[in-house]
Structure 1
């Protein structure tokens, strides 16, 4: 189109002389001149097009260069991590509606503050630090506080208030209330000592630990209330006639506990499984002398197939103390009682579901069942079944639990209870984690 325009301009310039309606006579000289002008214009047009092509190529090259620079800037760069401590935590509140409190039912349930917690973790000079302190309305408790050091590719040592390696890990449950094992001191228990941890290598995993005493310093620890703690531990013995929830008249504490956990990991197609065995042995002290022994062992498995999870565990424990059939335990500023010997079995099934519903990104549906039986004090079985779903939504993590239980702490009973009636508790625990 540009060529036609230039030709038209050239023709208009050439025929600037008067045009007669009858005839136009063009001499040979004028025709030659016209052809020369057309040739010059065509050459000029070719030059303009070449310049345009060069400009386009230059722009393309520059664009590619800029794009490459942006891509290079966007690529992740490996930066050596710096020493430092990270602080996080959580704030949680709790709603419950229960069958065992007429006042609670009449009010339509109760909504309470649960905890404010602070977590610290980090590393300084190859030594790691991990700690968690929890603040309740009625107490303050340190869950864990330990330092760690990775002294080889597969081995790490942790020292301080650290987790007792026992049973399915990290938890033998998916719900807010844990399993029945938690209230026996056999799930998510923390004591003062040292743990050697071997990460999974050649499918094998091993934890070996020694704990001098419980997290509050044992039977003569310098604390006002030995039940102000996160995890359950022995705090005394029960004599005939003692109340289930009384502060024990005879204090006791575990000491010099040896604990081990061995697990094997294997895969079959989409099925991944961990099977393991755990055991522990400790002494029992009354403040003046050794009065008995404490042993526990467990067989456990943890499997995942696609979005499905299955946990199984069988546990047995024994406090071997002369003429004692019932033990006092403490946690959450609350004393309770358990049989000196008992057997526990648990089975947990869960299903993960990824969703995209506003801020909600994940759901986990679960049913957790546990029973404690063959009790040395001849009390009735403890049974707890929890059906629920946990909801992940940004910084919020919420449990919706329906608990059906008998002789279960915090569900209208005690682990040393003798009731044949089941109680129910609908519970919502809402936590914001940062």
Structure 2
């Protein structure tokens, strides 16, 4: 092949390669253009999706805000309703109770297999109007009608409340130094769940200290010259000195009543841990006795006490003395309660030890059961009579509005268990069921 032929062939091949390269470049440019268009479409779709999601988020936020606003409105409405309800007036509640018992000291009762009787119908009022609270309870028994308490309350300084009327005498473990239906031995000498006419100031600040101070002009029936039947009352009080020739349950000839009594109770709460707390306290009481014409003596009492909650357990301890110094030198005095009179030693020592266990459950309507054993003794009496002691083993059951006690009592020289505090009797027993509906 000549040089000219070779050159011609080279030029032809170069032209062909150029044409192929140009065709490939056009194809590549077309593909890039298509890819760019696809990317633009994808970006538009992503932008549309983002806009749509923003709209959804904004709608969700608006809905949440509306729901929150409704919730706030509901809370405010409820708060206003509760406030209005608080100022509307007085709430009324109460209870109806019946009692079954079989005991060792009544042969007729044993022959019948025990007795089932109406116990009580009571009404309670409570409420607050213009920052003044009202609390009261009236009890209807088949043999008497009594007011247990009735007082007005007012928080005159932040953390300090005053009560005036028939109100609780602050003394010992509160509100009760017991767990059973029968209280403790202290109740029957007027030193548990006692109510008199006077004024009480309560310290209710949110710290470990609590303080109750009271001044009582006289007992709930008006003292020595108040009321025609001194025995018809809820809580025990002195109603007279007991002459040696008077019967244990006789109405006293020499009438006496309490007056100008001061009472105080201070407690300090020790927080051992989250579920273990102990209230340590001391109580003091001092007052005068009057026979209607002149001062007839004085009386006083003191006690140290402990109330400890250890998880589901409750332990109570109390120890103290009372002393009625009568001007006629009598070593016994008469008390009145529950429409009958009884006799008490004028001076004695008291000790109580109680244990309880609280058990929560869901068994039909039953939600709470408390098992307990309460023991109390009164000894070193001024009249040298035998010791009074009472041991109560039992349980209380809560089921909705129903609340019931099941108690087995063993006692000696104990009121309502076949004896009296000045007695020299035998150990007696009683099985008792108290059924109550509370509303």
Q: TM-score, normalising length from structure 1? A: 0.84
For residues 341 and 108 of structure 1, the distance between their equivalents in structure 2, rounded to whole angstroms, comes to: 39
1:151 is paired with a residue whose SS is strand
Correspondence for 2:255 among 239, 247, 251: 251
Q: Pick from 220, 226, 229: which aligns with 2:230? A: 226
Partner of 2:162: 157
1:289 matched to 2:290? The reply is no
User: Where does residue 408 of structure 2 map in the other structure?
Assistant: 402
What residue number does 1:24 align with? none
How far the C-alpha of 1:69 sits from its partner, in A, is 7.2
Offset, 1:78: 2.5
Aligned counterparts, 1:13-162, within 5 A? 77-79=78-80, 80-81=83-84, 82-83=86-87, 84-162=89-167
Tell me which residue corresponds to 1:305. Answer: 310
Q: Where does residue 261 of structure 1 map in the other structure? A: 265
1:393 aligns with 2:399: yes
Task: For residue 74 of structure 1, report the CA deviation from its aligned partner.
Answer: 6.2
**Matched residue SS, 2:221:** coil
For the structure 1 residues 323 and 267, does the alpha-carbon distance in structure 2 shift closer, same or farther, using more than 3 Å as the test? same
Equivalent residue, structure 1, for 2:4? none
Q: Is 1:195 the counterpart of 2:200 in the alignment?
A: yes
CA–CA distance in 2 between the matches of 1:324 and 1:415? 16
Equivalences for 1:167-186 in 2 at 5 Å?
Answer: 167-186=172-191
- Contact kept? 2:144, 2:339, Cα under 8 Å: yes
- Out of 338, 342, 358, the position equivalent to 1:336 is 342
**Alpha-carbon distance in structure 2 between the residues aligned to 1:279 and 1:88:** 33
Distance (whole Å) between structure 2 residues aligned to residue 70 and residue 196 of structure 1: 43
Instruction: Work out whether 1:380 is the aligned partner of 2:381.
Output: no
> What is the CA deviation profile of residues 17-39 of structure 1, one whole-angstrom value per residue up to 9, with x for unaligned ones?
xxxxxxxxxxxxxxxxxxxxxxx
Mean alpha-carbon deviation: is it higher for 274-283 or for 70-79?
70-79
State the partner residue of 2:29.
Answer: none
Contact 2:252-2:334 within 8 A present in 1 as well = yes
2:358 equivalent among 347, 352, 359? 352
Q: Is residue 369–residue 396 contact of structure 2 (8 Å, CA) maintained in 1?
A: yes
SS at match of 2:234: coil
Superposed displacement of residue 202, structure 1:
3.2
Counterpart-to-counterpart distance in 2, 1:141 and 1:292: 28
The alpha-carbon deviation at position 67 of structure 1 amounts to: 6.4
1:325 aligns with 2:331: yes
Q: In the superposition, relative to structure 1, how do residues 202 and 74 fare at CA in structure 2: closer, same or farther (>3 Å)?
A: closer
Contact 2:238 2:333 in 1 (8 A): yes
- CA distance in structure 2 between the aligned counterparts of 1:195 and 1:279, rounded to whole angstroms: 14
CA change 1:65–1:159 in 2 (3 A) is closer
Partner of 1:240: 244
Give the structure 2 partner of residue 16 of structure 1: none
The structure whose Rg is larger is 2
Distance 1:68 1:127 in 2: 36
Cα distance in 2 for partners of 1:166, 1:63 equals: 58
Aligned residues: 382
> In the aligned structure 1, how far is the partner of 2:272 from the partner of 2:404?
33
8 A Cα contact 2:406 2:433, kept in partner: yes
Aligned residue for 2:233, secondary structure, equals coil
Q: Deviations over 1:288-332 (max 9, x none)?
A: 100100010100010001000000000200000132000100100
The alpha-carbon deviation at position 242 of structure 1 amounts to 1.2
Would the alpha carbon gap of residues 149 and 109 (structure 1) be closer, same or farther in structure 2, given more than 3 Å must change? same
SS in 1 for 2:157: coil
Partner of 1:12 in structure 2?
A: none
Alpha-carbon separation, structure 2, partners of 1:201 and 1:353: 28
Q: Could you tell me how far apart the structure 1 residues matched to 2:169 and 2:258 are? A: 13
Work out the CA distance in 1 between the residues paired with 2:214 and 2:241.
26
More helix by share: 2
2: distance between equivalents of 1:288 and 1:370? 37
Shift of 1:249: 1.0
What SS does the aligned partner of 1:78 have? helix
Deviation sequence 1:346-383 (CA, Å, 0-9, x none) = 00100000010010000000000000000001111001
Distance 1:171 1:68 in 2: 46
Report the Cα offset of residue 123 of structure 1.
1.1
